[in-house]
Structure formats: C-alpha cells, structure tokens
Amino acid sequence: MRRLALVFAFSMLSLPVLAQKPDHGGAWWREKSAVYKEAYISGYKTGSHHQAGQNTPLSKFGAKELVDGLNKFYADFRNRNISINDSLFYVADQLSGVPDEKLNAEILQMRAAAIGTPAPEDQ
C-alpha cells in the first residue's frame, strides 16, 4: 500500500513537467549538432508523411536542404521564437519558389504569433 501511495504521489508531481510542451524553436535548434539536425528532420518528414497519409510539402526536399534553410532562418534573431513546426513549412515555401510578397507576409505573421501580438495587417 505504501509503495502504491509513493507511485501515485510521484506521478502526480511529475504531471506538470510531462504536460509541458517542449520549446523547439530557434534557441533549441541552434544548440544541436549537424548530425542531430539532419536526423531530426528525417524523422520529422517521415512522421509528417505517416500522419498525413500522403506526401507533404516537406516531401519534395532532402533533409540537408531543409537543415540549411532552417539554419539560415534561425540565424536571424527575429525568428528565434518561431516554432520549428512553423519554420519548416516556411522554408519549404522558400524552396518551392513562393513569391517574396507572400513569404514576407507569412514571416510577419509567424513573428507576431511567436511573441503573442497581432500581425501588422490585423492592427
């Protein structure tokens, strides 16, 4: 009974830690090794494909291309609060040749959302 009470107490104390969403943004990305980044992107692409049940915009590009794009994206300090989920699809848009006007509007929205303020066109 005592063991069960300890397990219950430990699980209740660890719930807030387990429930926290990991912060996978620019600061997290920049501290990872090149090998880790490429493996992460490969896994992300596979998971996205599996979840969607079809090719995603990321499927068109190799992990190395996406890693290079993310490295450049996060080199800009203004982008470091943007999640990797959002930034990956932005990089895929860049690689796909989406027009600059659309990319500029997209990045302004992502930056505003990352810091919790309305995008410029919403003001």
Spatial contact of 60 and 96, defined as CB atoms under 8 Å apart = yes
Please tell me the pTM assigned to this model: 0.76
pLDDT in tens, 1-16: 666 554 444 454 444 4
Residues in the chain: 123
> Under a CB-based contact definition with an 8 Å cutoff, are residues 89 and 58 in contact?
yes
How many whole angstroms separate alpha carbon 94 and alpha carbon 105? Answer: 13
Domain range enclosing 71? 22-122
| Alpha-carbon radius of gyration of the chain | 18
User: Cα–Cα distance between 67 and 91 in angstroms, integer?
Assistant: 9
CA dihedral over 113, 72, 40, 35, signed as positive or negative = negative
10 belongs to a structural domain: no
User: Does some domain include residue 95?
Assistant: yes
Is position 69 within any domain?
Answer: yes
Number of domains in the chain: 1
pLDDT, tens only, 50-76? 888 888 899 999 999 999 999 999 999
The answer to whether position 14 is within a domain reads no
Place of tokens 């896994």: 43
Domain membership flag for residue 103: yes
Question: What sign does the CA torsion over 103, 40, 30, 52 have?
Answer: positive
CB neighbours of 99 closer than 8 A, spacing ≥ 6?
none
**pLDDT value at residue 47:** 92
Structural domain includes residue 110: yes
pLDDT bucket at 23, cuts 50 / 70 / 90: confident
13 part of a folded domain: no
Residue 79 lies in a domain: yes
